Amino acid sequence: MTLFILMRILHIVGGFTALFTFWVPVVTKKGGKVHVVSGWIYVIGMSIVSVSAFYMGVFRILDPSSSPELISFSLFLIFIGILSSSTAYYGIRVLRFKRRTERHRHWLDVGFSVTLFVSAIGISIYGFVHDFSLLAWFPLLGIFLASIQLRYWLSKPTRKMHWWFEHLSGMLGCSIATITAFTVFGAPRLLNIESVSILLWFLPTILLTPVIIGLSAYYTKKFNQPKANVTG
């Protein structure tokens, strides 16, 4: 068995693990055992996906027999790996530093966000130059998420339960990468479809972004409810 085949198997296993577990932490009690265990299973699955995606993408790009279309999809695969690993890592690290009161400049945390930002810009430019809509527009999500991460790390926390919201946005942002990758690569192969509408590629972003906004608004209201006065 070649290393590429092994990575592809790991990619599939990790991808389906993440796909089937990403929703569990969302609907279970936050901080509870199920939430924590399922969350770590999801993170492990996405870690496998990220590493294998990066390897397979680079392998295909360096392969002299790869077509321009295959190279474009390989770049998307690499970007999905960067996006998913960056957002999952961010979602974990904000919990690690939830008690911080000053700006956070740890080189690895800021560097990961900068990597996402720079790679998103580069791949988006590549997409526009080569008229590849998926690569042109999808990385804009990475630019948006990386900007949020950098603003959070490089600013003093002012919001109540700030780490909660960043953890939520990081993990749901990672979920967008998970479902998008399945939509682009997995679903067409399972359904034996050669191509799908560009709208379907962006559907996870279209559907999950309002969920992130809605949950943030819900918990903002919940955490800022005035405490009931006890009389008598």
Report yes or no on 106 lying in a domain: yes
Report yes or no on 232 lying in a domain: no
Report yes or no on 58 lying in a domain: yes
Report yes or no on 165 lying in a domain: yes
pLDDT of 115 reads 96
Cβ atoms of residues 143 and 82 within 8 Å:
no
Report yes or no on 197 lying in a domain: yes
pLDDT of 230 reads 44
- What's the alpha-carbon Rg for the chain, to the nearest Å? 19
Domain holding 75, by residue range, is 3-219
Cβ atoms of residues 51 and 80 within 8 Å:
no
% pLDDT > 90, the chain: 44
Contacts of 161 (CB under 8 A, 6+ apart): 219, 223
Report yes or no on 224 lying in a domain: no
Tell me: pLDDT of 53 over 70: yes
Report yes or no on 95 lying in a domain: yes
**pTM of the shown model:** 0.84
Give dist(CA 129, CA 32) in Å, integer.
47
Report yes or no on 225 lying in a domain: no
Cβ atoms of residues 207 and 176 within 8 Å:
no
Confidence of residue 92 (pLDDT cuts 50, 70, 90): very high
Angle between helices 33-62 and 3-21 (to 10 degrees): 150
Over residues 137-166, mean pLDDT: 90
Number of domains in the chain: 1
> What pLDDT, in 10s, does the model give residues 98-112?
999 999 999 999 999
pLDDT of 214 reads 77
Residue-wise burial string across 154-177, b where 16 or more C-beta atoms lie within 10 A, e elsewhere: eeebeeeebbbbbbbbbbbbbbbb
Ranges 26-30, 31-35, 62-66: which has the least confidence: 26-30
Cβ atoms of residues 18 and 44 within 8 Å:
no
Tell me: pLDDT of 133 over 90: no
